Amino acid sequence: MPDGSNIYLNGDSKIRYALNFNTSSKRIVYLDGEAFFDVQHRTKQPFIVHTGKVSATVLGTSFNINAYPSLKDITITVQTGKVGVLFKNKATTAPVYFLLPNEQLTINKNNGQTTKKQVNAIDFDSWREYKIFFYDKSLSEIAEVIAREYDLDIEIKTEALKGVKLTAKFDKCSVKQIMDVIAKLSDSKYTIYENKVIIY
């Protein structure tokens, strides 16, 4: 970025920022998808990330935001520094949530419900090293990530399977290796045909 900050974009993600980004009173970025931000500290020029109804404000820190449009939640995970998070819903503005290192805030995009918890923040930007990490995620959410990362079409045959929650970590695996683990953890089976995976 013009201010020396680094932004790492995950697959199918994009950012926008103004031409005067580096000289205006606020450094404003608009995110669609998922990104890891390593922000240069500037006391008098806050760095603000907007994604839908949620905005995150920092002075200098590193954090991950997962805000893919297809997901019902926006997740912000802080690695270093402090992040202020705001959810705007119509005319009302919810209180600001402050996150410190290894804290994660999950916000429901529809109703603004929040969940804050302690995590190992490094796990949540493991995608930058071509690793995939899931923590207590439903199989339908996991399938979406795998489909995006491996350019696949994944179909889950039953509603019950879609809701099964899993925690797993993969390091540069093939699709078959990932699906073998998921099938074992979720007590399911799968077939792969060309670029389509069916879980049943």
Neighbours of 180 (CB within 10 A): 13
Query: How many residues are present in the chain?
Result: 200
Q: Is 11 a residue whose pLDDT tops 90? A: no
**Would you say the CATH fold of 130-199 matches that of 6-120?**
no
Q: Residue 12, SS3? A: coil
Fold (topology level) of 130-199: Phage tail protein beta-alpha-beta fold (3.55.50)
For 6-120, CATH gives: 2.60.120.1440
pLDDT tens digits along 116-141: 999 999 989 888 888 888 888 899 99
Cα separation, 177 vs 148, whole angstroms: 17
User: How high does pLDDT run on average in the chain?
Assistant: 91
CB 7 within 8 A of CB 39: no
pLDDT of residue 91: 64
Which residue ranges make up each domain of the chain?
A: 6-120, 130-199
Kindly state the percentage of the chain with pLDDT values over 70: 98
Encode pLDDT of 43-86 as tens digits: 899 999 999 889 999 988 999 999 999 888 999 999 999 999 99
Distance CA 165, CA 77 (A): 20
Question: Residue holding tokens 């998808």?
Answer: 33
